[in-house]
Each structure stands twice: as C-alpha cells, then as structure tokens.
Amino acid sequence: MQLYYWPSLPGRGEYVRWVLEDLGLAYDDVARREGPGAVMAMLKASDGPPVLAPPILVDGERRLFQTPNICVYLARTYGDLAEEHLPEVLQQQLVVLDLVTETHDTHHPTTTTLSYEEQREAALVRAVPFRELRLPKFLGFAERVLASHGGDWVVGDRCTPADLAWAHTVRGLRHAFPRAMARVEAGTPTLSALVDRVVERPRLAAYLASERAIDFNAHGIFRRYPELDDPT
C-alpha cells in the first residue's frame, strides 16, 4: 500500500498511519521518500478516479481518500472490525474530525491563505469559545460514550479506529492547549485512561518511539500558540 500525505507534518495523515501501524501493515509513505511533489502528482493524476485531497491511500486498484473512510476500510479489510460496529465507528471518527476542524480554525479562523500572524487578532477571539465551550462539549461527549460501553473502548469490546482517533486527538490538544486541557481533562478521567491504553499498544508504542513518527509542530493542525491557551 502507498500513503500520500505531506511529509513534514502529522495532520490528518497521522490518523491513517496509526491504523496502519496498529494493524501491523506494511506501507510506503511516499512523500517521505519523494517529497511533497508526490502528493501533488497524485492529486493531478489522470489515470484512475480523481481524489480531492490527502491523505490518499492506494491499495491495489483502489484509490481512497477522506480520513475516516480510509481508516474504516483498513480496519474492515485487514483487521477485525465487525460489520455491526461499522456505523458507530464511522460516526465517532466523523465527530473527531469535526473537532479537528474546529481546532485548526482556532489558529486560522479567517482563511488558510494567510499566516497565523496575519490573523492573530481573530484567532485570539476564536480561541476563547473553543476552550470554554467546544472542548468541554466534545471531550465530555467522548467521556459519556466510553461510560455507556463500560469505559474500556469507544465501540464494542476491542480497540477500533475510533479509539485511535480520539487518543491521537487528545494528545494533539494537550500539545496545543496544555493549560485548557489540564482543566477540561479533570472532568474526563475515562477518556484520559483510554489515551494511555491506546498508546501502550505494542505496535503503536513502537511506532511512536521511532524516528518515523513526526512530533506535533508549528505546521500541523495542533499548533501551540501560548496566547490562545487558557490564561496562566
């Protein structure tokens, strides 16, 4: 399999990498070898069905995009995701991606064509309701979902891409908003425990400890701007 995503940032591609790594699947992270031009070439390719945006997964004749779609495809095809759990896993991943979009919009609230510094004042305004209202809403929802399933996993009785997605997102939010997350996570202990359980999974732990895993940085979704966090 080939994964196409921007080589210098975790972004949405990292959600796919976590599933690939947790399943122990071999894959070629193409742009890490060839640079971002490989992604642009795939977006412009005329052979096969068009794709809108990365991450893009090529598996044989299949060319897939949209993060939740790829993750569910991998779990169904190469994992043990039960068909009966597919709707719940997919809807959890869609909720997570809603949260990811809102997180991104705290530092780019007006447009992606301008830098953070060019829209900093708007970002300062946007970040307040995100910290005070949206973070508690989303993470509180995840806490309730876990409680409804006994607290171990988000859907069913085993780890699915929904658990991986929530865990990666919480880790990213901790990086971007450490003070706000310390406050909000005080009320979501079951979700915090899920994160610990996920990152201790052997294959995923090995990946996170390797040089292949890119740290959160100033070019991804989960960017740390101290002025957007809770006041000290």
Helix axes 67-78, 161-176, angle to 10 degrees: 140
pLDDT for 151 equals: 75
Percent of the chain with pLDDT over 70: 100
* Domain extent listing, the chain: 2-78, 83-228
Q: What are phi and psi for residue 213, nearest 5 degrees?
A: -80, 125
pTM of the predicted model, to two decimals?
0.96
pLDDT band at 141 (very low <50, low <70, confident <90, very high): very high
Task: Please tell me the distance from the alpha carbon of residue 202 to that of residue 171, in angstroms, as a whole number.
Answer: 18
Which CATH number is 83-228 given?
1.20.1050.10
CATH architecture of structural domain 2-78? 3-Layer(aba) Sandwich (3.40)
pLDDT for 48 equals: 82
- Give residue-wise pLDDT tens across range 79-121: 999 999 999 999 999 999 999 999 999 999 999 999 999 999 9
- Give residue-wise pLDDT tens across range 174-196: 999 999 999 999 999 999 999 99
Q: How many CA atoms lie within 13 A of 172 on its CB side?
A: 30
